[in-house]
């Protein structure tokens, strides 16, 4: 039911079949690792050592998942990745919200309340998108120490907010620059101030870019390993670090099913965010505010 008129010759149809065949194969190829992970995570250990990678489980079991969540050993402790999963949520949620909010305010100020040097400031902030994480590890550790929040969740939140602002500012600045400044002028004449205009006029039309910013930040921060491993203590580690520890902890038989289940646990939230928020991605909410 697509809206295109196509050639209807046999050759053209054949090409389309071939095209779709290639696309389907490519899609399956990309899906394969996920399939292997899911299958392996619900197989008992003996089926893994006996069967092939792609064979379906004979006796599906959720035992590897419960073990990965609550009992598997990560280094010296054997409490599973569950606690670290909670850690990740406790770090990611505030970090995403704070960095998105600051990015929105920055973008708003940089486009609607221009000041001398605002373009230069934006260019410098953009530079922050290109700084490799490794470069700041030592100075950041020092700073966190001075602030007295090293190895804490608060420290990790701060690091992620600082690094995220460059991106979120970029997103919101480019979104707000397309929103007519006359909207802000009208609100000023109506008597609204800086924050009121932001809250009542701009934020309600920012849903598409908020979704973009949240998805981006959530994925970045959830998947972060380097900062997680560098700036956390044992009880504040994010799930990515715990997963690494779990897989690297060798006590006797290697439990691939538990490893896979733990990896799935660590990957699910980002998947979920895409599935839930993806449909809000692009929406012309400002359509109609100006001539249409």
Partner 1 sequence: MSALEIRKVRKDFGSERVLKEVSLAIDSGEFLILVGPSGCGKSTLMNAIAGLEPVTSGEIHIAGEDVTWRTPAERDIAMVFQSYALYPSMTVRGNISFGLEMRKMPKAEREAAVERVADLLQMSHLLDRKPSQLSGGQRQRVAMGRALAREPKVYLFDEPLSNLDAKLRVDMRTEIKKLHQRLGTTIVYVTHDQIEAMTLADRIAVMRDGHILQLGTPDEVYNDPVDMFVAGFMGSPSMNFIAATLEGAPGRFQLRIVTPEEDDLVLPWPRQRETPAMTEQVGRDVVLGLRPEHFSEEDERLAGQAEGTPLSARVSVSEPTGADILLRLPLGEREVTARVGPTCRVAPGERLALRVDMARAVLFEQANETRLA
Site residues for partner 1 per CB under 8 A: 180, 182-183, 185-193, 196, 200-201, 204-205, 285-292
* 3-class secondary-structure state, position 232: strand
CA atoms of 38 and 41, how far apart (whole Å) = 5
275 versus 287: smaller Cβ distance to partner 1: 287
**Using CA atoms, how far apart are residues 40 and 48, in angstroms rounded to an integer?**
7
CB of 193 to partner 1, least distance (A): 8
Tokens describing residue 57: 């489980």
* Shortest reach from residue 113's CB to partner 1, in Å: 12
Question: Cβ 178 to partner 1, closest distance in Å?
Answer: 13
- In the complex, what is the shortest distance from the CB of residue 231 to partner 1, in angstroms, rounded to a whole number? 39
* Whole-angstrom distance, CA of residue 246 vs CA of residue 228: 15
Closer residue to partner 1 (CB): 102 or 203? 203
Asked whether the CA dihedral 147, 152, 153, 157 is positive or negative, the reply is positive
**Three-state DSSP class for 193?**
coil
Contacts 24+ apart (CB under 8 A), 186-194: 194/113
- Please give the Cα distance from 282 to 292 (Å, whole number): 18
Q: Which is nearer to partner 1, 49 or 181 (CB)?
A: 181
Minimum CB–partner distance for residue 117 and partner 1 (Å): 14
Residue 239, number of CB atoms within 10 A of its CB: 29
Closest CB to partner 1 among 15 and 113?
113
Query: What is the token pair recorded at 189?
Result: 């004449």
Residue 236 CA to residue 249 CA, distance in Å, equals 19
| DSSP label at residue 167 | H
Structure tokens at 205: 């039309």
Residue number with CB closer to partner 1 (33 or 193): 193
What minimum distance in Å lies between the beta carbon of 291 and partner 1?
Answer: 5
Output 148 or 288, the one with its CB closest to partner 1: 288
Q: Which residue has the tokens 């491993």?
A: 229
Residue (77 or 188) nearer to partner 1, CB: 188
CB of 87 to partner 1, least distance (A): 37
């Amino acid at each position: 039911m697509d809206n295109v008129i196509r050639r209807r010759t046999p050759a053209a149809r054949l090409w389309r079949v071939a095209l779709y065949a290639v696309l389907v194969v490519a899609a399956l190829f990309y899906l394969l690792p996920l399939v292997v992970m899911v299958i392996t995570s619900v197989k008992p250990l003996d089926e893994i050592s006996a069967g092939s990678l792609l064979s379906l489980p004979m006796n599906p079991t959720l035992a590897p998942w419960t073990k990965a969540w609550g009992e598997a050993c990560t280094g010296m402790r054997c409490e599973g990745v569950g606690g670290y999963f909670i850690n990740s949520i406790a770090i990611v949620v505030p970090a995403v919200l704070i960095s998105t909010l600051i990015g929105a305010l920055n973008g708003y100020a940089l486009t609607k309340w221009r000041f001398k040097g605002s373009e230069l400031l934006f260019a410098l902030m953009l530079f922050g998108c290109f700084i490799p994480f490794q470069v700041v590890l030592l100075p950041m550790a020092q700073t966190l120490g001075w602030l007295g929040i090293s190895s804490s969740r608060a420290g990790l939140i701060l690091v992620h907010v600082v690094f995220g602002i460059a991106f979120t500012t970029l997103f919101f600045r480019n979104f707000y620059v397309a929103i007519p400044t006359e909207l802000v002028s009208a609100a000023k004449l109506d008597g609204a101030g800086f924050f009121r205009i932001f809250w009542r006029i701009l934020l309600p039309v920012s849903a598409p870019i908020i979704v973009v910013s949240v998805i981006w930040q959530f994925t970045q921060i959830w998947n972060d390993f380097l900062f997680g491993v560098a700036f956390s203590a044992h009880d504040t580690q994010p799930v990515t670090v715990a997963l690494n520890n779990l897989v690297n902890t060798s006590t006797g038989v290697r439990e691939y099913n538990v490893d896979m289940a733990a990896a799935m646990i660590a990957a699910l939230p980002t998947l979920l965010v895409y599935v839930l928020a993806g449909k809000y991605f692009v929406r012309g909410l400002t359509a109609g505010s100006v001539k249409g």
